[in-house]
Amino acid sequence: MKANAPYDARYQKLTASNGSPYFTLTATNGQVIGVSESYSSITARDNGITWVKTHAPAAPTADPT
């Protein structure tokens, strides 16, 4: 996630069946590694992508054990 988050090409901007915009984040092999929440507008979705691009690379990680 951290390695792929900065790159525009890793995001797919999609629309759910109910019309809500959302996005996915993919790895270099095309596998989906993250799915966003549903947003109220395209602008809100795009702001969500910007937030992830800005904050994910430096986010702390925790060992789940």
User: What pLDDT score was predicted for residue 51?
Assistant: 95
Please tell me the least confidently modeled range out of 3-7, 14-18, 21-25, 60-64: 60-64
In this prediction the pTM is 0.87
End-to-end Cα separation, the chain, in angstroms = 19
24 burial type by CB count under 10 A (0-12 exposed, 13-18 middle, 19+ buried): middle
Q: What is the pLDDT of residues 26-38, one digit of tens each?
A: 999 999 999 999 9
Record the tokens describing residue 3, joined without a space: 């390695």
Is the domain defined by 8-57 classed in CATH 2.30.29.80?
Answer: yes
- Concatenated DSSP letters of 1-63: -TTTTT-GGGEEEEE-TTS-EEEEEE-TTS-EEEE----SSHHHHHHHHHHHHHHGGG-----
- Would you list the domain boundaries of the chain? 8-57
